[in-house]
Amino acid sequence: MVYFALKITGNLAGVDNLQPRGGVDDPDHPYLFKLQCENCGEISGKFSCVMLSEEVPLPRVYGKGNVNLVQKCKLCDRVGTVKMISGFGKPLNHTSGECGRYVGIMIFECHGLAPVEFSFGGVWKAQSRKKLLEIDLSKGEFNDFNERVHVTDLKAKFERMKTF
């Protein structure tokens, strides 16, 4: 079993504590990414979506229990699974973003698949001086010139870990 930490960074101006709308462990926040088959190296053409509130049973050959995604490789037919592990993520805050450090927001336990190419889908939130803002990061940045709020240079990576 392999674990991947999803880490993000970016520049925050006029806001702080960037995270999915209901927090990093928001049960209904869609985490979107492509998956690379660990058997043949093929990368899925479409983005896969996982969220904590959506579970599927593990294929019988892997044992009992639930995971968040079961996906078959289109090239070699190998079946892989992804399970989200909550309770370890933190919001991206001004201090970490400013110096370019990455902050881990979610951990994925993967079997046969490796997550690649994270996409900032769903609704995110961040705290401005005056209020809590709901923001759309699907274009890779967010600008509200009236409120002087800017979220730019967003980057994400998956870090492979043996344990967490």
Contact residues for Zn ion (CB under 5 A)?
A: 37, 39-40, 42, 73, 75-76, 78
91 to 55, 69, 87, 106: CA distances (angstroms): 24, 24, 12, 10
Pick the closer one to Zn ion by CB: 35 or 137. Answer: 35
Write down the least CB distance from residue 22 to Zn ion, Å: 34
Nearer to Zn ion, 73 or 84 (CB): 73
Q: Which residues contact 9 (CB under 8 A, 6 or more apart)?
A: 92, 96, 97, 100, 101, 102, 103, 153, 154, 155, 156
Q: Which is nearer to Zn ion, 76 or 132 (CB)?
A: 76
- The least distance separating Zn ion from the CB of residue 13, rounded to whole angstroms, comes to 42
Smallest separation (angstroms) from Zn ion to the CB of 34: 13
Cα–Cα distance, 103 to 89 (Å, whole number): 8
State which H helix or E strand residue 97 sits in: helix 94-98
Nearer to Zn ion, 32 or 73 (CB): 73
- Nearest-approach distance from CB 47 to Zn ion, in angstroms: 17
Cα 149 vs. chain centroid, distance in angstroms? 23
